A and B are shown apart, each in its own frame.
Chain A
Amino acid sequence: MSDPMKIRAKMNGDVAEIRVLMGHPMETGQRKDAAGKPIPPHFIQSMTVEVGGKMIVDGQIGTSVSRNPVFGFKMKGAKSGDKVVISWVDNKGDKRSDSVAIA
């Protein structure tokens, strides 16, 4: 089971500031464990951000992103109360989707 995301979204003037903290090991596949065996890769491959039902980010990320990654976005055209839905899919097919309303 994956950890819940922490999403912060608030209006700053007419710009919505969205920040998300995801809990994920983001294992690159390059590391070895204590016994010397390679640790299999396990990382988020794609993520999407929807605001008010409209897709604003549909992106791919990879092993260069750290463990427990943080992303921040700024956008115009959103308003307080709009629902922000952030989802990701990793290379093992695990999924996670969390949402929050813009404050």
Chain B
Amino acid sequence: MKYRIAIMAALVATWTGPVLAQEKDPTIAGIEKYREMLGDDNPAELYEARGEILWKKADGPNRVSLEKCDLGLGPGVVKGAYAQSPRYFADADRVMDIETRINWCREKIQGFSSADVKKKPFGSADKPSQIEDLLAYVVTASKGMKIAPPNSHPKEKEAYELGKALFFVRAGPYDFSCASCHGEDEKRIRLQGLPNLTTPRDTKASHAAWPAYRVSTSRLHSMQWRINDCYRQQRFPEPGYMTDSVNALITYLAVTGEGELYKGPSLKR
């Protein structure tokens, strides 16, 4: 009898499988179609083109370019550097995401002051910030490469554990954590799908699509912005630009989403 039930269950499973796959939520299918139509000709490419010029331009008080900047794969290596970030940098003695590292180079190589670098991290549609241009150039050089943060140095492992812990910390006036919105499958706010960032499946898709150009704001958004803005939406005090806690959360996301091929800056609503 038991045996028969098992067979029945197996048959039901094989029958419902394909049917479920066809019944995709039409709203989600619609959003996917919209994204596909906009796939080419992403204005993020304009950022990338500006960023490339900026990368090679002798700039800052020292009048040198960033072409000697070590993004983790050796001085001057841009290709693939983003896919293997965040990582521990001995010269700075901290785990840095790619944006923190680019700014570190602007400070140490080009001679900008720390205050200059942090003054205007997030641009507006009318006045894009230079760091977003540089970021677009650097990340696009990793397009098609496997996301593989090293996660081997003790500090990298520490950052991962810290990021994972921060992800679940509930606090603030709404008693929210990152996991309140990003801890369950198939949730959304209005039309925005909320990836379940505790699972590799959703994190892979999400992490491989950032930074992203948003049509509604006409600008490129970095992961540093994304995490700070998530905290703002939770009514938390924002952790701050390039802080260890933000870099730890980015490390957690990169490690959880590892193995996916990086898609390059994507286009969002």
Q: Hey, which bits of chain A sit against chain B, CB under 8 A?
A: 3-4, 6, 8, 19, 21, 23, 25, 67-68, 70
Contacts and interface: CB of A to CB of B under 8 A. Distances in A.
Contacts of B126: 25
Nearest to B133: A3
Binding site secondary structure of chain A: loop
Contacts of B46: 3-4, 6, 21, 23, 68
B218 interface: yes
Nearest to A23: B46
Contact of A21 (B41, B50, B125, B218): B41
Interface string B119-143: 0000001100000000000000000
Interface in B182-234: 218
B138 to A, nearest CB: 18
B240 interface: no
10 contacts: A3-B50, A4-B46, A4-B50, A6-B45, A6-B49, A19-B40, A21-B42, A21-B46, A23-B43, A67-B125
B41 A6 contact: yes
A25 B125 CA distance: 8
Contact of A70 (B41, B49, B50, B218): B41
A60 B42 CA distance: 23
Contacts of A67: 125, 218
Nearest to A25: B126
A3 B49 contact: yes
Contacts of A25: 125-126
A91 B111 CA distance: 38
Contacts of A8: 40-41
B36 to A, nearest CB: 15
Contacts of B45: 6, 21
B47 to A, nearest CB: 9
Nearest to A33: B126
A85 to B, nearest CB: 18
A54 to B, nearest CB: 24
Contacts of A23: 43, 46, 49-50
